[in-house]
Amino acid sequence: MNQRQFPLPPRHRDDDGHAAPTMHIAVARTPDTAQGAGIKIRARDVNVFYGDKQALFDVGLDVPEKAVTALIGPSGCGKSTFLRSINRMNDTIPGCTVRGRIELDGEDVNDKSIDPVVLRARVGMVFQKPNPFPKTIFENVAYGPRIHGIATGKAELEAIVESSLKRAGLWNEVADRLHQPGTGLSGGQQQRLVIARAIAVSPEVILMDEPCSALDPIATAKIEELIDELRNQYCIVIVTHSMAQAARVSQKTAFFHLGKLVEAGSTGEIFTNPRDSRTQDYITGRFG
Amino acid sequence: MTDAALPTAQPSLRKIVEARLKQRHAEEQRFRLYGRAAIITALLFLAVLVGRIAAQGYTTFVDYQLTLPVYVDPARVQADDLSGANYDLLIADQTLARLGEKDDELGTKSGKLMELISTDLGFQVLMKVKADPSLIGKTLQITGPVRADGQLYYKGEMKRATDETERKLDNEQLGWLDKLKARHLVKSGFNISFLTKSDSTEPEQAGVLGAIVGSAMMLLVTASLAIPVGVLAATYLEEFAPKGRWSDLIEVNINNLAAVPSIVYGLLGLAVFINWLGVPRSSPLVGGLVMALMALPTVIIATRSALKAVPPSIREAALGVGASRTQTVFHHVLPLAMPGVMTGAILSLAHALGETAPLLMIGMISFVPGVPQGFTGAATVLPVQVFIWENASERAFEERTAAAILVLLTFMIIMNMAAILLRRRFERRW
């Protein structure tokens, strides 16, 4: 009864355009940069268990710096589990154990010397459902810098809030109502507020767990545009159910199936010339 | 399914549904009826209960005050022995003369008249003379209540028609009461002294102030112990403690503690706080300690359920920006749970306000004629005051019992309203 504290990572119904045929998917606008840039996150032999149930099997993946990496795959395939292992959000789930190595700049995030608080300041996260604090817009963004002691004065804090909101593309919409509740914004605005909150602590990596699944197409387009801009500064890992979205925003794509990493490579390659037949079947909408 | 099957299947389906439809609607109607009947019954019982208490108690709030000129006779009041004089007799004798009666040698009539005038008047004369001895030889205007039995006559609860041997006052005394009223020496008014005085052996002088203050002090002790300890215990159990066999065991035990009969807490308080720790008995401190023990499980359960109701997305949001577990709980989760916590706390305090049995065990059933002298002084509380008056032999305490219940219920309603308002005011959406 009391194990409810944090639910298992959300599983989702496949209801957003998986059946779209491949030819309609526009492949990433920018050429694949994965090979050229350095590796930010290196995962090796990652196994994750929820109690007795194994959710991830020997996953190994390199996540490039300053690029968007999309994790795709059918429901329950372990994409979110893998994502949450990167900033150790899985620690908060009772009975969840992570084995293997996940390196952030060569340091194992599961090492005893790594404090999850510091880790999560370096690796920000955006969740599926917009979850602003029931506080003002300003307080939402200012919270992170404040608890980490990043801003020393009020003016500095205000500057951080402003630049974070600007980078999240929300400033023009909320500049005149910074002290109104963040929960009063629309879903898309809330999600951008949450992104601003994550940016405010200047993270190196931003994890996004299906950031658009609760949004309408227009809000989704705005978030995707934002992700495309943020890619220049951050390493972004996004879990998505929409193949079209993965194709639009990511430079690297990893396909998960039944807890295993089936295939990873540049987005262009995965969508046009998948090596594995399961990847082929999934992206053409034959299952999932 | 073939095309041919469709036209035949549909009417028959409709028939089947319709056949049962009447029954289904009747079922719903019946259920609504039961529901209404249950609510009406409950309200009826409540109305009877409150109505009876109010009908019995409202007369307490009317009282009859005598205003008499009192000549402080130097022959009877000596300046060097002010407390030695019998002021009640002095007042009775003068009033008797004013009524045109002559006392016999034994003083039978003045004795009978003293049964009609509250000792409060004599006490007031003593106090005034003590403060200013020059008043001896002068005439004072003194106002004080008619004695309880006289009040009952004025209120119509003691009737002339009743046989003289069956009532406390005889016909002569009733005659005097009539005369006093006819001469406008007696005035009726709102009985403010019921709320400004404490317990007394004389019903007309007895009030609930001491009990109200005692209750307030006891609740202060209870609240300042049970709320912080309970909230922190619940927060630890819910947000920090590792879940397992031990936490389950603790949870079961807390739930059991909430169901332990209150008198057991009284015994525990007697054994631990009074006998072992030496806390003064009958004090608001020991009462508050026992009540805190009793309220603790309720506060913990309420807090835990309030914490459980906070959506996990808020915890994830805070952890996601790098808040520590403690920061997550104290910056976000607990503030969001606060309306629920406060509601639970206030309701458990309201429960403590009405609790009587454990207080009887720790000696709060004593007669305390005044406001408690600090947290370790002797005190009584409202429900115990009700209990004490209920057991009193004087008829006039009956209405006071009901009135004390009304005061107690008023405080309960205020506390419950506060709980509802707090919830409304601070409930936040997310």
Tell me the DSSP string of B66-106. Answer: EEEEEE--TTT--TT-GGGS-HHHHHHHHHHHHTT----TT
Of B226, B247, B249, nearest to B237 by C-alpha is: B247
Of the pLDDT bands very low, low, confident and very high (cuts 50, 70, 90), residue B103 is confident
Mean pLDDT value across residues B210-232: 94
- pLDDT for res B111: 86
For the cut 90, the answer to whether the pLDDT of residue B42 exceeds it is: yes
Q: Which residues of B touch A87 (CB under 8 A)?
A: 320
Over residues A197-208, mean pLDDT: 92
Q: Does A132 touch chain B (CB under 8 A)?
A: yes
CA-to-CA separations, B248 to A217, B159, B255, B260, B329, in angstroms, rounded: 46, 65, 11, 19, 21
- Summarize the confidence of residues A127-135 as an average pLDDT: 91
Determine contact: B331 vs chain A, CB below 8 A: yes
Q: Which region among A258-272, B208-222, B413-427 has the lowest average model confidence (pLDDT)?
A: B413-427
Phi, psi of A145 (to 5 degrees): -55, -35
CB B122 within 8 A of CB B91: yes
- In total, the C-beta contacts within 8 angstroms joining chain A to chain B are 83
Q: Judge: A147–B428 Cβ closer than 8 Å, yes or no.
A: no
Of residues A3, A117, A133, nearest to B314 (C-beta): A133
Q: Closest approach of chain A CAs to the CA of B326, in angstroms?
A: 11
Q: What pLDDT score does B10 carry?
A: 65
Q: Whose CA is closest to A128, among A233, A240, A254?
A: A240
The answer to whether A46 and A102 have CB atoms below 8 angstroms apart is yes
Assign B4 a pLDDT band (cuts: 50, 70, 90). Answer: low
- Residue B90 Ramachandran class (φ > 0 left, ψ -120 to 50 alpha, else beta): alpha
Average pLDDT over residues B105-132: 87
At which residue do the structure tokens 């914490």 appear?
B307
Cβ of A117 and B317 within 8 Å?
no
Nearest to A37 by CA among A62, A10, A64, A12: A64
pLDDT at B228 over 90: yes
Taking an 8 Å cut-off on Cβ atoms, the answer to whether B320 and A92 are in contact is: no
Looking at the partner chain, which of B251, B320, B428 has a beta carbon nearest the beta carbon of A89?
A: B320
Q: Do B312 and A183 touch (CB under 8 A)?
A: no
A1 Cβ contact list (under 8 Å, min separation 6) = none
Find the CB nearest B322 among A94, A120, A133.
A120
Are the beta carbons of A117 and B322 separated by less than 8 Å? yes
Q: Under a CB-based contact definition with an 8 Å cutoff, are residues A271 and A286 in contact?
A: no
- Tokens at residue A235, please? 């390493």
The confidence score (pLDDT) of residue B6 equals: 54
pLDDT at A16 over 60: no
**Average pLDDT, whole number, for chain B?**
88
The sign of the CA dihedral B33, B34, B35, B37 is positive
pTM (two decimals) = 0.80
What integer is the mean pLDDT of A71-93?
Answer: 90
Structure tokens at A141: 């963004």
| pLDDT over 90 at A167, yes or no | no
Tokens read off for A197 = 């909150």
Q: Give Cβ neighbours of residue B406 (< 8 Å, ≥ 6 apart).
A: B53, B54, B57, B58
The two structure tokens encoding residue B71: 């000549």
Q: What is the DSSP string of A131-155?
A: ---SSBHHHHHHHHHHHHT---SHH
pLDDT at position A215, please? 85
Tell whether the model's pLDDT for residue A13 goes beyond 50. no
Cβ contact A118–B322 (<8 Å)? yes
Share of chain B above pLDDT 90, in %: 39
Could you say which of B243, B332, B429 has the minimum Cβ distance to residue A133?
A: B332
Between strands A39-50 and A96-104, the pairing is antiparallel
Predicted local distance difference test score (pLDDT) of residue B8: 58
Rounded CA gap, B257 and B268, in Å?
Answer: 13
Q: What is the mean pLDDT of residues A80-91?
A: 91
pLDDT for A23-49, tens place per residue?
Answer: 444 444 444 344 445 889 999 999 999
Beta strands in chain A (DSSP E): 39-50, 53-64, 68-72, 96-104, 107-108, 123-126, 205-209, 235-239, 252-257, 260-266
Query: Would you call A37 exposed, middle or buried from its count of C-beta atoms within 10 A (0-12, 13-18, 19+)?
Result: middle
- State whether A121 and B312 contact (CB < 8 Å): no
pLDDT in tens, B323-341: 999 999 999 999 999 888 9
DSSP class per residue in B179-227: HHHHTT-EEEEE-THHHHS---SSGGG--SHHHHHHHHHHHHHHHHHHH
Is the pLDDT score of A58 beyond 80? yes
Least confident window among A24-28, A107-111, A281-285, B325-329 = A24-28
The mean per-residue pLDDT over the stretch B393-399 comes to 86
d(C-alpha B426, C-alpha B339), whole Å: 6
CA–CA gap between residue A255 and residue A241 (Å, rounded): 11
Beta-carbon separation of B312 and A124 below 8 A: no
Average pLDDT over residues B27-35: 96
Contacts of A92 in chain B (CB under 8 A): 315-316, 319
What's chain B's length in residues?
430
Residue A36 pLDDT = 47
Distance from the Cα of A193 to chain B's closest Cα (Å) equals 12
Q: A282, A216, A277, A214: which is closest to A70 by C-alpha?
A: A282
Q: Looking at beta carbons, which residues of chain A come within 8 Å of B255? A: none
Q: Which of B8 and A29 is assigned the larger pLDDT?
A: B8
CA distance readout (Å), A231 to A155, A228, B3, B358: 28, 5, 59, 68
- The per-residue pLDDT for A288 is 57
Q: Which residue has the higher pLDDT, B278 or B10?
A: B278
Cα maximum dimension of chain B:
123
Alpha carbon distance B385, B210 (integer Å):
9
Over range B171-187, report the average pLDDT. Answer: 88
| Of B5-9, B61-65, B129-133, B229-233, minimum mean pLDDT range | B5-9
Position A74 pLDDT exceeds 50: yes
